[in-house]
Amino acid sequence: MHWIDIVAAIAAQRHSGMVCVTASVDNLNFHHAIKLGEVVTLEASVNRAFRTSMEIGVRVTAHGNAKFPERKANSAYLTFVAIDGDGKPQAVPPVEPETDDQRRRYTEALQRREVRLQARRQE
Ligand SMILES: CC(C)(COP(=O)(O)OP(=O)(O)OC[C@H]1O[C@@H](n2cnc3c(N)ncnc32)[C@H](O)[C@@H]1OP(=O)(O)O)[C@@H](O)C(=O)NCCC(=O)NCCS
């Protein structure tokens, strides 16, 4: 989970060019266990940028061996907010999806944001 947060932060900071903080983590799914000694890779994508926040999707792949095949181990959606030196949220550049996958993630990110904002309003 720590690695997921780190790769998502790197993606958010590379996209925005600013320091970013984790606002929330949702849908952290554990699809398959990672066995001791396995190699994992983490891939992050900036699915969509809103005003000052960005949804980042992270996929963790476990690279198997003779006993365990390569498989998707975890996935998660995180929201990061770009901030200035005083911790004040700052506007971020938009995401321009190019591929079908990127367009799908872009569309779905808006639906997830609405669920998130509604949950935040009920806190
Ligand atoms: C995240 C943080 C900067 C937001 O500041 P805020 O004063 O609540 O700002 P706002 O209400 O104006 O919200 C700013 C953006 O954050 C988003 N946001 C705030 N809380 C959120 C949450 N829980 N989930 C998703 N998005 C959230 C808002 O939707 C808004 O997005 P938008 O500008 O793209 O529309 C502030 O709450 C904070 O610093 N939190 C602590 C962060 C932290 O310590 N993280 C862990 C270690 S890095």
pLDDT tens figures, 60-86: 999 977 777 888 989 999 999 999 999
Query: Which pLDDT does position 5 carry in this prediction?
Result: 97
Query: Which pLDDT does position 42 carry in this prediction?
Result: 97
Best of 15, 53, 79, 115 for a ligand 1 pocket test (most atoms within 8 Å of beta carbon): 53
Q: Per DSSP, what are the bridge partners of residue 41?
A: 61
pLDDT in tens, 31-52: 888 888 889 999 999 999 999 9
Whether 19 and 64 have beta carbons less than 8 Å apart is answered as no
Residue 24 has pLDDT above 90, yes or no: yes
Best of 81, 88, 111 for a ligand 1 pocket test (most atoms within 8 Å of beta carbon): 81
On whether the pTM is more than 0.85, the answer is yes
From start to end of the chain, where are the E strands? Answer: 19-30, 39-49, 53-63, 71-83
Dist. CA 38 → ligand 1 center (Å): 35
How far is it, in rounded angstroms, from Cα 66 to Cα 86? 51
Query: Which pLDDT does position 96 carry in this prediction?
Result: 97
Contacts of 110 (CB under 8 A, 6+ apart): 48
Compute the C-alpha angle 95/97/100, nearest 5°: 155
User: Which domains does the chain carry?
Assistant: 2-121 (3.10.129.10)
Nearest CA to ligand 1 atom 46: 22
Q: Which two tokens stand for residue 104?
A: 């799908």
More confidently predicted of 32 and 93: 93
23, 74, 84 from 66: Cα distances, Å = 40, 21, 48
Residue 29 has pLDDT above 90, yes or no: no
